[in-house]
Amino acid sequence: MYHLILLLVSVFAGLLGSLLGLGGGIIIVPMLTLGLNVDIRYAIAASLISIIATSSGAAASFLKDHLTNIRVAVLLELGTVTGAIVGFFVSIHIKSSLLFQLFGFFLLFSSIMMFRKKEDHPSNHGHPWSSALQLNSSFPGPDGKSIPYLVANVPFGILSMIFAGAFSGILGIGSGIFKVMAMDGAMKLPLKVSSATSNFMIGVTASASAGAYLLRGDIRPEIASPVAIGVIIGSWFGSRIMLKMSADKLRKLFVLVLTIVSIQMILKGVRS
């Protein structure tokens, strides 16, 4: 019975994740800790598995649509993986109660960010590293024509990714929100390219921490298996109904749920 509940919630997490462009982590961790009373360290480890599954599936679709900038992704992965190492180190040295509070505040931040107005901020000048590594590229516009873009502030982008990677390692999340913020806001990549490139990178960031959690013995098949299966099924359905659904109403409802859950997580952290 409990297996099936977790499987269904994971299907929902995968479905919502692919519809709203999120990793499953912000649904999986609260479900496991608040719903099934699982220790937050096991929950974080299982959540990383769900992130790799969602990211790999979604990245495959985005690559076919020519939205991912593979060169930018490879460069920024240097930052995210370094951050993930720092994050894993920090996570094993802090108390579970602090993890709950951090996770709660991250959820609150995510719900605020979901109301952010989304528009492109193109740059007129690239960075010297962009020319050297041929990071500047183009993406297909609505009419099918190729729209060129320049990549700015590359060193700042790498530094931001260390921060995003550390959060991923500590909380078992994809940190897609931070990655998109840095790429879209600072590096001036188009929003669609930022989202697709972030998705491509999330799997590598999660894999860096997931490998360490696995060898530490924190990834347990009893928890991680239904989560992985559910998320794979959910994101598969999500990618198929994405074009037929308006994500806007769903986003508003999800923000409300996210805010309530974030308060519960913070309270549990304060009380324990």
Partner 1 sequence: MKQDNLEIRISCFLRFGVLLSGTLIFLGWIFKFRPTGNPYFNFQIYDRIPFSDLIFFYWDKKDWAMMISYAGLISLISLPLVRVIVLSILFFRQREYNLAMISFLVILLLFLSMSMGLLL
Interface residues with partner 1 (CB under 8 A) are 1-4, 6, 32, 36-39, 41-42, 49, 52-53, 55-57, 59-61, 63-64, 66, 68, 70-71, 74-75, 77-78, 81-82, 84-85, 88-89, 92, 96, 132-134, 203-204, 206-226, 228-229, 232
- Distance in angstroms (rounded) separating the CA atoms of residues 16 and 234: 8
Distance in Å, CB of 13 to partner 1, minimum:
15
For residues 18 and 111, which CB has a smaller minimum distance to partner 1 in the complex? Answer: 18
Our CB check for partner 1 shows the closer of 89 and 109 to be 89
Rank residues 16 and 45 by Cβ distance to partner 1 and give the closer one: 45
Q: How far is the CB of 130 from partner 1 (least distance, A)?
A: 12
Smallest separation (angstroms) from partner 1 to the CB of 223: 6
- Name beta bridge partners: 149: 137
**Closer to partner 1 by Cβ: residue 17 or 111:** 17
Rg (CA), the chain: 18
> Which one, 80 or 111, has the nearer CB to partner 1?
80
Min. distance of Cβ 66 from partner 1 in angstroms?
A: 6
The distance of closest approach from Cβ of residue 24 to partner 1 in the complex, given in angstroms and rounded to an integer, is: 13
Strand pairing partners for 147?
139
Q: Which is nearer to partner 1, 170 or 210 (CB)?
A: 210
| DSSP H helical ranges for the chain | 2-20, 25-30, 40-64, 70-91, 96-113, 128-132, 154-171, 176-181, 191-216, 221-241, 247-271
**Residue 219, φ and ψ in degrees, nearest 5:** -90, 110
Rounded Cα gap, residues 270 and 247, in angstroms: 34
CA torsion sign, 200 to 48 to 19 to 104?
Answer: negative
Polymer length of the chain = 272
The distance of closest approach from Cβ of residue 226 to partner 1 in the complex, given in angstroms and rounded to an integer, is 6
